[in-house]
Amino acid sequence: MAISNKELVLNAMDRKAVERVPAGFWFHFLDDEIHADAYTHPELEKKVLDGEIRYIEEAQPDFVKIMTDGFFSYPNPIVQKARTAAELAKVQPLPDDHPFFERQVAYAKEITKRYGSDIATFYNIFCAGTTIKFMQPGTLAEDEAFLAGLVREDKEAVKQAFAVISADLARLAHRIITEAGVTGIYFSLQNLVGEGADRALYEEVFAPGEKEILRVANAASSYNILHICGYAGHRNELDWYKDYDAKTINWAAVVEGVPLEEGRRIFPQHALLGGFGNLPTDILYRGTRAEVEAETRRILAAAGRTGVILGADCTVPRDIDRKRFDWVRGAAREG
């Protein structure tokens, strides 16, 4: 008896033997996914929801990363206006009925009520540091510099603010799982870069809130994914996350130069998601069918077929030909 795509993915996450290695890819639906504001412009939420539904109907994916274009920001007026660490530290938790929770739960529920019994769904949530970066108006490099500057200014104030913001993000994770019915969260974070950004500082300021979000998510679901984000070439020290409690780990295998088989040595107790590069210059986007299929077989030959889910470093270009995803799944099925 054939199992559902959802059961296939959960078995892979549990590192059980699977009849075929599952695969999943995702992309943004808005032109400016970072700064788009669906709280103020609900038509953006509809555009993303319609795009998600259209993609699921057309591609019949093994799992869905529920994209949160338009919901990247944390609509807390203190955080929105803060330009110094002292101002940021004044942040207070959002009320339970705030649109930050209500709108996102309702959005996720629209997807799970249609597909949640057959397809595993993972809701995208960013850590506090990434959330603050995305709320800035500059380039990614400028926003990273802004965050690093806040930490240098007063790390205790930033740590205090992160505790509040992370608690709200944890509440969101809990409600998305328990009320909207998603399988788990896809939790995105990355190393701090810039002057003085070492591991000790990260573990003091960033890690406590991140681990709290995962703790709360894990209490609601055993199936959560940690994404160590290498978007736009951001480099990470992967071993900073060896003790983060998530069922599955996804990192930028191509950007970091750490393929799945090497990542298994860093994360021996986890399922692994990824393997493909996500840029227009990478094989998944530009390769012929034969090249994509060959790359699929190469990845699996090196990484093995147990505890592996094929995917990409991060979001793939939104104009990618969807049939390429089928090429990967077909090659994975052949063994």
pLDDT score for 1? 57
pLDDT confidence tier of residue 202, bands split at 50, 70 and 90: very high
CA–CA distance, 45 with 41 (Å, rounded to integer): 8
According to DSSP H, which parts of 82-231 are helical? 85-88, 99-115, 128-134, 140-153, 155-178, 199-205, 207-220
DSSP state, 237?
-
Backbone angles phi, psi at 52, to 5 degrees: -60, -50
Percent of the chain with pLDDT over 70: 99
Task: Indicate whether this model's pTM tops 0.85.
Answer: yes
Mean pLDDT (the chain, rounded) = 96
Q: Tens digits of per-residue pLDDT, 114-151?
A: 999 999 999 999 999 999 999 999 888 899 999 999 99
Residue with tokens 């559902």: 4
Going by C-beta distance under 8 Å and a sequence separation of 6 or more, which residues neighbour residue 154? 85, 86, 89
Give the mean model confidence (pLDDT) for residues 306-315: 98
Q: Which residue would you say has higher pLDDT here, 215 or 141?
A: 215
First to last CA, the chain: 20
CA–CA distance, 130 with 205 (Å, rounded to integer): 13
* CATH class for the region spanning 5-333: alpha beta
pLDDT score for 310? 98
Give the mean model confidence (pLDDT) for residues 271-298: 98
- What residue segments make up the domains of the chain, in order of their start? 5-333
